[in-house]
Amino acid sequence: MARDRFLQSVQRYFDRAAAHTRYRPGLLRQVRTCNAVYRMRFPVREDSGEIRVIEAFRAEHSFHRMPTKGGIRFSRRVSLDETIALATLMTFKCAIAGVPFGGAKGGVLVNSSGLSAGFRERIIRRYTAELIRKNFIGPDVDVPAPDYGTGEQEMGWIADTYKNLRVNEPSPYACVTGKPLSMHGIPGRRQATGLGAYLAIRTCMDVAADMQALGLTPGIAGKRVIIQGLGNVGYHAGVALQNQGRALIVGIIEREGALHAPDGLDVQAVHDYRQLHGTLHGFPGATFVAEGNSVLEYDCDVLVPAALESQITGGNAGRIRARIVAEAANGPVDFEGERILGERGIMVLPDIYTNAGGVTVSYFEWLKNKAGVSFDRMVSRHEQMTKIQIVAAIERLTDQSIPDSIRDRLLRSLNEEDMVIAALDQTMTQAFENIHQCWKSRELPDMRTAAFLLAIEAVAESYQQHGIFP
């Protein structure tokens, strides 16, 4: 099954990178192993009054740093192996981004679409209660977040349930991230994963030597991009690629089919059309392709799989015509698929780097909730007074007045979202530089091996500092 292959691919990526380390086998086995898994079944009343037994999971992969961190997925495809694979990736994603968490993941075996709001709320609140029962959630224990099929509303229900069941918890809202702003969320979290993917692609494509080897000019501007998935991640990645990077979005793939337009698509217009009509079919000015995934194989410069795992495999990797595959989803390229892409000279930006934006901004939200104060409140007034003094000094030294339009920009204080986005940009840029330097200096086969190697070494060093492993 694809879900079994997903876990196998993650483990094979690990083993390939681990072969380049100096650590003893016992320590590497600990870094590779999923530390704790909770498989549960619980009853939930449907709107009709019938009782449905829901199956769900929570996996905590690594306790080298606490709390563990990872999203909750609603899907009929979710399985225990998939949950473990995703938790494993989260451990290494956090290590790459410099976020001090272990990896975790949750899954609920239900169809994410077609659920009434009341039934969805009852599922998520009961799931939260089950996690509390076994100590699989808490600000210093395990902190969930949104994933496929869940969003801000579900995270708000989790926070409310936890707050009311753990009445003496000093920082109850830090038990979950990705919450609505009205429940102590953080600006920028909604678009963080997609925006992080854009920043990863931008940083990668600014390396002239690498782009020359791929037959591309540096920079995103004018490059043809195909995006698979127009959910939260794909939508925000597409908007940033189009508006900030000035890329040409020539294809968008969804469950019901795909759109292709060599002259480009307006991502916002496509998103709005699908929200209104429930389908891509009929969107004006583009060709609708009923077999949507075939568009993965269309000619483009950058392919952005932003849906589910195992979309590029040994079966179709030989037909992929992109120069760069940027994994905005978790595990969209399996081990055999990546081998074929590598042989064909196609660069893969690995998921544990490319989609690390979500957990990075989740970390900022967790810090904000633990501190009980927003970041801008601490610095905005001081920053504004400093800028006023600098502008006054410039005018005095030059004996000239700064135009009002320029003055307004100079004096504008950063708000919390500005600070979050700037910190995300810095994180993605630094992480890429670390991976790229490791890839080149240690003569590794690809960036995924370099990313896994850096992450394994970070986790292993943490375990050694605990004194467990000599």
Write out the catalytic residue numbers: 105
Q: Which H or E run includes 254?
A: strand 248-254
> DSSP E strands: which ranges in 26-162?
36-45, 51-60, 68-74, 102-108, 142-146
> DSSP E strands: which ranges in 65-166?
68-74, 102-108, 142-146
Please check whether residue 292 is in contact with residue 257, taking contact to mean a CB–CB distance below 8 angstroms. yes
> DSSP E strands: which ranges in 48-168?
51-60, 68-74, 102-108, 142-146
Considering only CA atoms, which of 202, 208, 212, 233 is closest in space to residue 302?
202
Q: What's the residue count for the chain?
A: 470
In a 3-state reduction of DSSP, which class is residue 151?
Answer: coil
* Residue 226 tokens, joined: 């195909």
The DSSP 8-state label assigned to residue 317 in this structure reads G
Task: Sort strands 102-108 and 51-60 into parallel, antiparallel or unpaired.
Answer: antiparallel
- Number of helices and strands in the chain (H, E): 16, 12
- Which residues sit opposite 108 in a β-bridge? 56, 74
Q: What share of the chain is helix, strand, coil (3-state, %, to 5)?
A: 50, 15, 35
Rounded-to-integer distance, Cα 333 and Cα 2, Å? 11
Please check whether residue 177 is in contact with residue 366, taking contact to mean a CB–CB distance below 8 angstroms. yes
Rounded-to-integer distance, Cα 444 and Cα 451, Å? 10
Rounded-to-integer distance, Cα 224 and Cα 262, Å? 8
- Evaluate the omega torsion of the peptide bond into residue 146 and state whether it is cis, within 30 degrees of 0: no
Please check whether residue 144 is in contact with residue 71, taking contact to mean a CB–CB distance below 8 angstroms. yes
